[in-house]
Chains A and B, each alone.
Chain A
Amino acid sequence: MKANYGYMDGSGEYYITIDTDHCNNCSHHGCITGCPKGMFQVITDDYDDEVAEIKEEFRKKIKYDCADCKPTTDRPPLPCQAACTPGAITHSW
Protein backbone atom coordinates (compact mmCIF):
# COMPACT_ATOMS: atom_id res chain seq x y z
CA MET A 1 0.00 0.00 0.00
CA LYS A 2 1.19 3.50 -0.79
CA ALA A 3 0.32 5.68 2.15
CA ASN A 4 0.56 9.42 1.54
CA TYR A 5 0.94 11.61 4.62
CA GLY A 6 0.76 15.37 4.37
CA TYR A 7 -1.43 17.93 2.69
CA MET A 8 -1.86 20.43 -0.08
CA ASP A 9 -2.42 24.09 0.57
CA GLY A 10 -2.20 27.34 -1.34
CA SER A 11 1.59 27.08 -1.51
CA GLY A 12 1.86 23.55 -2.88
CA GLU A 13 1.65 19.83 -2.18
CA TYR A 14 3.60 18.31 0.68
CA TYR A 15 3.37 14.56 0.95
CA ILE A 16 5.66 11.85 2.27
CA THR A 17 4.77 8.56 0.64
CA ILE A 18 5.55 5.27 2.36
CA ASP A 19 5.26 2.14 0.24
CA THR A 20 4.29 -0.17 3.10
CA ASP A 21 4.76 -3.29 0.98
CA HIS A 22 8.48 -2.65 1.49
CA CYS A 23 8.02 -2.51 5.29
CA ASN A 24 6.95 -6.15 5.47
CA ASN A 25 10.45 -7.50 5.07
CA CYS A 26 12.19 -4.77 7.03
CA SER A 27 13.39 -5.65 10.50
CA HIS A 28 15.68 -2.78 11.44
CA HIS A 29 13.24 0.13 10.90
CA GLY A 30 15.93 2.68 10.05
CA CYS A 31 13.26 5.33 9.48
CA ILE A 32 12.61 5.63 13.22
CA THR A 33 16.17 6.63 14.10
CA GLY A 34 17.00 8.16 10.71
CA CYS A 35 14.58 11.07 10.96
CA PRO A 36 16.11 13.80 13.16
CA LYS A 37 12.62 14.97 14.15
CA GLY A 38 11.41 11.47 15.05
CA MET A 39 8.46 11.72 12.67
CA PHE A 40 8.22 7.98 11.92
CA GLN A 41 6.78 5.16 13.98
CA VAL A 42 6.09 1.49 13.30
CA ILE A 43 2.54 0.28 13.87
CA THR A 44 0.39 -2.75 13.16
CA ASP A 45 -1.96 -1.56 10.42
CA ASP A 46 -5.61 -2.44 9.70
CA TYR A 47 -4.50 -5.59 7.85
CA ASP A 48 -2.29 -6.71 10.75
CA ASP A 49 0.95 -5.89 8.92
CA GLU A 50 3.82 -4.12 10.68
CA VAL A 51 4.39 -0.90 8.76
CA ALA A 52 5.93 2.54 9.14
CA GLU A 53 3.81 5.68 9.30
CA ILE A 54 4.19 9.37 9.98
CA LYS A 55 3.04 10.24 13.49
CA GLU A 56 -0.26 12.08 13.61
CA GLU A 57 1.17 15.22 15.18
CA PHE A 58 3.49 15.84 12.22
CA ARG A 59 1.09 15.23 9.35
CA LYS A 60 -0.28 18.75 9.05
CA LYS A 61 3.07 20.52 9.24
CA ILE A 62 5.55 18.32 7.41
CA LYS A 63 6.59 21.17 5.14
CA TYR A 64 8.02 22.91 8.20
CA ASP A 65 9.30 19.85 10.06
CA CYS A 66 11.17 18.60 7.00
CA ALA A 67 12.58 22.03 6.19
CA ASP A 68 15.85 21.49 8.10
CA CYS A 69 16.68 18.47 5.92
CA LYS A 70 15.87 20.36 2.72
CA PRO A 71 18.23 23.32 2.42
CA THR A 72 17.88 25.33 -0.77
CA THR A 73 21.52 24.69 -1.74
CA ASP A 74 23.83 21.68 -1.38
CA ARG A 75 20.96 19.39 -0.63
CA PRO A 76 22.30 16.15 0.88
CA PRO A 77 20.35 12.88 0.65
CA LEU A 78 17.36 13.04 2.97
CA PRO A 79 18.20 11.21 6.24
CA CYS A 80 14.91 9.30 6.24
CA GLN A 81 15.45 8.03 2.70
CA ALA A 82 19.08 7.17 3.40
CA ALA A 83 18.08 5.23 6.53
CA CYS A 84 15.29 3.32 4.80
CA THR A 85 17.20 0.48 3.14
CA PRO A 86 14.14 -1.03 1.39
CA GLY A 87 13.59 2.33 -0.33
CA ALA A 88 10.02 2.79 0.83
CA ILE A 89 10.08 6.55 1.40
CA THR A 90 9.55 9.30 -1.18
CA HIS A 91 8.85 13.02 -0.81
CA SER A 92 6.62 14.98 -3.17
CA TRP A 93 8.50 18.27 -2.87
Chain B
Amino acid sequence: MAEKEFWRWKEYNWHDENIDWHGCDAITAGVDVGSVSSQAVILVDGKLYAFATTRTGSDSPKSAQKAMDWALEDTGMTLDDIHYKVGTGYGRVNVPFADRAITEIACHARGGNFMYGNSVRTILDMGGQDCKAIHCDERGKVTNFLMNDKCAAGTGRGMEVFANLLSVPIEDIGELSFQVEKEPEPVSSTCVVFAKTEASALLRKGWPKNKVIAAYCNAMAHRVVTLLERIGVEKDFAITGGIGKNIGVVRRIEKELGITALKADGDTQTAGALGAALFGKALLEKSRK
Protein backbone atom coordinates (compact mmCIF):
# COMPACT_ATOMS: atom_id res chain seq x y z
CA MET B 1 0.00 0.00 0.00
CA ALA B 2 1.33 3.43 -0.92
CA GLU B 3 2.36 5.57 2.04
CA LYS B 4 0.18 8.65 2.55
CA GLU B 5 2.00 11.88 1.81
CA PHE B 6 0.83 14.30 4.49
CA TRP B 7 3.10 17.07 3.19
CA ARG B 8 1.38 17.16 -0.22
CA TRP B 9 -0.28 20.55 -0.62
CA LYS B 10 -2.95 21.34 -3.16
CA GLU B 11 -1.81 21.83 -6.76
CA TYR B 12 -4.31 23.68 -8.92
CA ASN B 13 -4.88 26.04 -11.82
CA TRP B 14 -7.35 28.84 -12.49
CA HIS B 15 -8.28 31.26 -15.23
CA ASP B 16 -10.73 34.15 -15.47
CA GLU B 17 -13.43 33.17 -17.94
CA ASN B 18 -14.68 36.76 -18.10
CA ILE B 19 -11.54 38.02 -19.82
CA ASP B 20 -11.27 37.70 -23.59
CA TRP B 21 -7.56 37.84 -24.35
CA HIS B 22 -7.93 37.92 -28.14
CA GLY B 23 -6.70 41.19 -29.55
CA CYS B 24 -5.28 42.38 -26.23
CA ASP B 25 -2.25 44.63 -26.34
CA ALA B 26 -0.01 43.10 -23.69
CA ILE B 27 -0.02 39.45 -22.64
CA THR B 28 2.81 38.71 -20.25
CA ALA B 29 3.74 35.74 -18.13
CA GLY B 30 5.89 35.01 -15.13
CA VAL B 31 7.19 31.58 -14.18
CA ASP B 32 8.57 31.05 -10.70
CA VAL B 33 10.54 27.82 -10.49
CA GLY B 34 11.16 27.43 -6.79
CA SER B 35 12.98 24.65 -4.99
CA VAL B 36 9.71 23.07 -3.84
CA SER B 37 6.92 24.56 -5.99
CA SER B 38 6.56 26.13 -9.43
CA GLN B 39 4.00 28.73 -10.44
CA ALA B 40 3.03 30.35 -13.70
CA VAL B 41 0.97 33.54 -13.88
CA ILE B 42 -0.46 35.14 -17.03
CA LEU B 43 -1.50 38.79 -17.14
CA VAL B 44 -3.67 40.26 -19.88
CA ASP B 45 -3.21 44.03 -20.17
CA GLY B 46 -1.95 44.03 -16.57
CA LYS B 47 -4.94 42.09 -15.21
CA LEU B 48 -4.62 38.66 -13.64
CA TYR B 49 -5.89 36.19 -16.22
CA ALA B 50 -4.58 32.73 -15.28
CA PHE B 51 -2.25 30.92 -12.94
CA ALA B 52 -1.13 27.45 -11.95
CA THR B 53 0.75 26.20 -8.94
CA THR B 54 2.44 22.82 -8.97
CA ARG B 55 5.24 20.81 -7.40
CA THR B 56 8.77 21.34 -8.76
CA GLY B 57 10.29 18.14 -10.10
CA SER B 58 13.93 17.23 -10.45
CA ASP B 59 14.15 18.99 -13.82
CA SER B 60 13.72 22.80 -13.74
CA PRO B 61 12.94 23.29 -17.48
CA LYS B 62 10.27 20.58 -17.32
CA SER B 63 8.80 22.06 -14.14
CA ALA B 64 8.59 25.49 -15.78
CA GLN B 65 6.93 23.98 -18.84
CA LYS B 66 4.49 21.99 -16.70
CA ALA B 67 3.45 25.07 -14.72
CA MET B 68 3.02 27.13 -17.88
CA ASP B 69 1.10 24.40 -19.73
CA TRP B 70 -1.23 24.08 -16.79
CA ALA B 71 -1.84 27.83 -16.59
CA LEU B 72 -2.65 27.82 -20.31
CA GLU B 73 -5.02 24.84 -20.00
CA ASP B 74 -8.55 25.50 -21.33
CA THR B 75 -7.71 29.12 -22.19
CA GLY B 76 -7.22 28.63 -25.94
CA MET B 77 -3.97 30.59 -25.54
CA THR B 78 -0.60 29.16 -26.52
CA LEU B 79 2.91 30.10 -25.46
CA ASP B 80 3.36 31.95 -28.74
CA ASP B 81 0.46 34.27 -27.89
CA ILE B 82 2.37 35.59 -24.87
CA HIS B 83 4.35 38.72 -25.74
CA TYR B 84 6.91 38.62 -22.91
CA LYS B 85 7.87 35.89 -20.48
CA VAL B 86 10.01 36.28 -17.36
CA GLY B 87 11.57 33.48 -15.35
CA THR B 88 12.22 33.83 -11.63
CA GLY B 89 13.00 31.72 -8.59
CA TYR B 90 15.79 29.31 -7.89
CA GLY B 91 15.45 27.75 -11.36
CA ARG B 92 15.00 31.05 -13.21
CA VAL B 93 17.95 30.56 -15.54
CA ASN B 94 16.50 27.20 -16.61
CA VAL B 95 13.20 28.47 -17.97
CA PRO B 96 13.73 27.67 -21.67
CA PHE B 97 11.04 29.99 -23.04
CA ALA B 98 11.81 33.03 -20.84
CA ASP B 99 12.85 36.31 -22.44
CA ARG B 100 14.58 37.38 -19.24
CA ALA B 101 15.44 36.08 -15.77
CA ILE B 102 14.82 38.26 -12.71
CA THR B 103 15.57 37.42 -9.08
CA GLU B 104 12.70 36.25 -6.89
CA ILE B 105 13.51 39.02 -4.41
CA ALA B 106 12.60 41.73 -6.92
CA CYS B 107 9.61 39.70 -8.14
CA HIS B 108 8.13 39.12 -4.69
CA ALA B 109 8.41 42.84 -3.96
CA ARG B 110 6.66 43.70 -7.22
CA GLY B 111 4.07 40.93 -6.81
CA GLY B 112 3.45 41.88 -3.18
CA ASN B 113 2.90 45.49 -4.23
CA PHE B 114 0.23 44.31 -6.73
CA MET B 115 -1.38 41.81 -4.38
CA TYR B 116 -1.49 43.89 -1.20
CA GLY B 117 -1.49 47.43 -2.57
CA ASN B 118 1.22 50.06 -2.81
CA SER B 119 1.20 50.81 0.92
CA VAL B 120 3.06 47.57 1.63
CA ARG B 121 6.63 48.20 2.80
CA THR B 122 7.80 44.97 4.41
CA ILE B 123 7.35 41.62 2.70
CA LEU B 124 8.29 38.31 4.19
CA ASP B 125 8.57 35.60 1.55
CA MET B 126 8.48 32.23 3.21
CA GLY B 127 9.48 29.94 0.40
CA GLY B 128 10.10 26.24 0.06
CA GLN B 129 13.76 26.21 1.00
CA ASP B 130 14.58 29.75 1.93
CA CYS B 131 13.14 32.77 3.60
CA LYS B 132 13.50 36.39 2.52
CA ALA B 133 12.79 39.61 4.36
CA ILE B 134 12.23 42.41 1.84
CA HIS B 135 11.70 46.13 2.28
CA CYS B 136 10.24 47.95 -0.71
CA ASP B 137 9.02 51.37 -1.76
CA GLU B 138 5.60 52.44 -3.04
CA ARG B 139 6.41 51.16 -6.54
CA GLY B 140 7.38 47.72 -5.30
CA LYS B 141 11.09 48.37 -5.83
CA VAL B 142 13.37 46.63 -3.34
CA THR B 143 15.14 48.98 -0.93
CA ASN B 144 16.57 46.40 1.47
CA PHE B 145 16.61 42.63 1.54
CA LEU B 146 17.94 39.77 3.53
CA MET B 147 17.79 36.11 2.69
CA ASN B 148 18.36 32.97 4.66
CA ASP B 149 18.90 29.93 2.51
CA LYS B 150 21.57 28.16 4.50
CA CYS B 151 19.14 25.86 6.28
CA ALA B 152 15.52 24.77 6.04
CA ALA B 153 14.45 26.21 9.40
CA GLY B 154 11.64 28.68 8.83
CA THR B 155 10.78 27.34 5.38
CA GLY B 156 8.00 25.41 3.70
CA ARG B 157 10.13 22.30 3.42
CA GLY B 158 10.60 22.34 7.18
CA MET B 159 6.82 22.39 7.59
CA GLU B 160 6.46 19.50 5.16
CA VAL B 161 8.93 17.47 7.22
CA PHE B 162 6.79 18.09 10.30
CA ALA B 163 3.54 17.23 8.52
CA ASN B 164 4.99 13.84 7.62
CA LEU B 165 6.53 13.26 11.03
CA LEU B 166 3.22 13.89 12.78
CA SER B 167 1.02 12.33 10.04
CA VAL B 168 -1.07 15.51 9.84
CA PRO B 169 -2.19 16.94 6.45
CA ILE B 170 -0.20 20.11 5.87
CA GLU B 171 -3.33 22.22 5.30
CA ASP B 172 -4.58 21.34 8.82
CA ILE B 173 -1.41 22.30 10.67
CA GLY B 174 -2.31 25.97 11.18
CA GLU B 175 -5.70 25.32 12.81
CA LEU B 176 -4.45 22.40 14.91
CA SER B 177 -1.62 24.49 16.32
CA PHE B 178 -4.16 26.60 18.20
CA GLN B 179 -5.85 23.63 19.82
CA VAL B 180 -3.60 23.73 22.89
CA GLU B 181 -4.37 24.78 26.44
CA LYS B 182 -1.17 26.76 26.82
CA GLU B 183 1.31 27.94 24.20
CA PRO B 184 4.40 25.68 24.49
CA GLU B 185 7.99 26.85 24.29
CA PRO B 186 9.38 26.70 20.73
CA VAL B 187 11.47 23.73 19.63
CA SER B 188 14.91 24.38 18.07
CA SER B 189 14.63 27.28 15.65
CA THR B 190 18.05 27.02 14.08
CA CYS B 191 17.83 23.65 12.36
CA VAL B 192 15.00 21.47 11.01
CA VAL B 193 16.91 18.27 11.74
CA PHE B 194 17.37 19.30 15.39
CA ALA B 195 13.74 20.45 15.54
CA LYS B 196 12.56 17.10 14.20
CA THR B 197 14.70 15.20 16.71
CA GLU B 198 13.35 17.38 19.51
CA ALA B 199 9.77 16.88 18.33
CA SER B 200 10.22 13.09 18.21
CA ALA B 201 11.46 13.19 21.80
CA LEU B 202 8.47 15.30 22.87
CA LEU B 203 6.06 12.84 21.23
CA ARG B 204 7.72 9.98 23.08
CA LYS B 205 7.34 11.98 26.27
CA GLY B 206 3.60 12.02 25.66
CA TRP B 207 3.04 15.47 24.21
CA PRO B 208 -0.09 15.53 22.02
CA LYS B 209 0.47 16.25 18.32
CA ASN B 210 -1.20 19.64 18.54
CA LYS B 211 1.21 20.80 21.22
CA VAL B 212 4.22 19.68 19.16
CA ILE B 213 2.80 21.47 16.11
CA ALA B 214 2.30 24.62 18.19
CA ALA B 215 5.91 24.40 19.42
CA TYR B 216 7.15 24.12 15.83
CA CYS B 217 4.97 26.96 14.51
CA ASN B 218 6.27 29.03 17.39
CA ALA B 219 9.88 28.17 16.51
CA MET B 220 9.32 28.99 12.85
CA ALA B 221 7.72 32.34 13.71
CA HIS B 222 10.57 33.23 16.04
CA ARG B 223 13.13 32.29 13.40
CA VAL B 224 11.71 34.58 10.73
CA VAL B 225 11.04 37.44 13.13
CA THR B 226 14.79 37.62 13.84
CA LEU B 227 15.33 37.94 10.07
CA LEU B 228 12.72 40.69 9.82
CA GLU B 229 14.17 42.59 12.74
CA ARG B 230 17.51 42.83 10.96
CA ILE B 231 16.01 44.83 8.10
CA GLY B 232 13.48 46.61 10.31
CA VAL B 233 9.75 45.97 10.03
CA GLU B 234 7.69 48.82 8.71
CA LYS B 235 3.94 48.89 8.18
CA ASP B 236 2.28 47.73 6.02
CA PHE B 237 3.54 44.21 6.38
CA ALA B 238 2.67 41.19 4.21
CA ILE B 239 3.63 37.55 3.95
CA THR B 240 4.05 35.81 0.60
CA GLY B 241 4.98 32.21 -0.24
CA GLY B 242 3.32 28.98 0.78
CA ILE B 243 3.68 29.51 4.53
CA GLY B 244 1.59 32.67 4.14
CA LYS B 245 -1.38 30.25 4.03
CA ASN B 246 -0.50 28.68 7.40
CA ILE B 247 -2.34 30.70 10.04
CA GLY B 248 -0.49 28.90 12.82
CA VAL B 249 2.75 30.55 11.73
CA VAL B 250 1.26 33.81 10.45
CA ARG B 251 -0.58 34.63 13.69
CA ARG B 252 2.45 33.84 15.79
CA ILE B 253 4.61 36.12 13.63
CA GLU B 254 1.99 38.86 14.03
CA LYS B 255 1.95 38.34 17.80
CA GLU B 256 5.73 38.52 18.09
CA LEU B 257 5.94 41.62 15.89
CA GLY B 258 2.83 43.29 17.33
CA ILE B 259 1.63 43.96 13.75
CA THR B 260 -1.22 42.38 11.79
CA ALA B 261 -0.20 41.18 8.34
CA LEU B 262 -2.22 42.37 5.37
CA LYS B 263 -4.71 39.87 4.01
CA ALA B 264 -4.01 38.66 0.48
CA ASP B 265 -6.43 39.05 -2.38
CA GLY B 266 -5.16 35.91 -4.09
CA ASP B 267 -2.85 32.97 -3.51
CA THR B 268 0.28 34.09 -1.60
CA GLN B 269 2.24 31.29 -3.25
CA THR B 270 1.89 32.96 -6.67
CA ALA B 271 3.35 36.35 -5.63
CA GLY B 272 6.76 35.68 -7.22
CA ALA B 273 5.35 34.59 -10.58
CA LEU B 274 2.92 37.50 -10.47
CA GLY B 275 5.80 39.92 -9.91
CA ALA B 276 7.68 38.31 -12.80
CA ALA B 277 4.66 38.81 -15.09
CA LEU B 278 4.49 42.47 -13.97
CA PHE B 279 8.18 42.90 -14.77
CA GLY B 280 7.38 41.33 -18.14
CA LYS B 281 4.74 43.96 -18.79
CA ALA B 282 7.12 46.80 -17.91
CA LEU B 283 9.89 45.32 -20.08
CA LEU B 284 7.48 44.79 -22.97
CA GLU B 285 6.39 48.43 -22.80
CA LYS B 286 10.03 49.54 -22.63
CA SER B 287 10.91 47.45 -25.69
CA ARG B 288 8.06 48.97 -27.70
CA LYS B 289 9.10 52.57 -27.04
A contact residues vs B (CB 8 Å cutoff): 1-4, 7-10, 13, 15, 45-47, 60
Contact = CB atoms under 8 A, between A and B. Distances in A.
Contact of B149 (A7, A10, A45, A47): A7
B167 interface: no
Given A1-B144, A15-B230, A9 B279 contact: no
A1 B145 contact: yes
Given A8-B226, A9-B190, A10-B190, A46 B103 contact: yes
Contacts of B141: 1, 47
Interface in B250-284: 279
Contact of A8 (B102, B142, B148): B148
> 5 tightest A-B contacts by CB?
A46-B106, A7-B150, A4-B146, A2-B144, A10-B190
Contacts of B191: 10
Contacts of B106: 45-47
Chain B interface secondary structure, helix, strand, loop or mixed?
A: mixed
Scoring B141, B147, B149 by chain A CB atoms within 10 A of each residue's CB, the highest score goes to B147
B255 to A, nearest CB: 21
B227 interface: yes
Contacts of B231: 2, 4
A8 B144 CA distance: 17
Given A9-B150, A9-B151, A3 B145 contact: yes
A29 to B, nearest CB: 21
Given A13-B230, A15-B230, 10 more contacts: A2-B145, A4-B145, A4-B230, A7-B148, A8-B148, A8-B227, A9-B190, A45-B106, A46-B105, A46-B106
Interface string B197-233: 0000000000000000000000000000011001100
Interface string B126-164: 000000000100000111111111110000000000000
A39 to B, nearest CB: 16
Contacts of B147: 4
Contacts of A47: 106, 141
Contacts of A8: 148, 150, 226-227
A15 B151 CA distance: 15
Nearest to B103: A46
B226 A1 contact: no
A24 to B, nearest CB: 14
B56 to A, nearest CB: 19
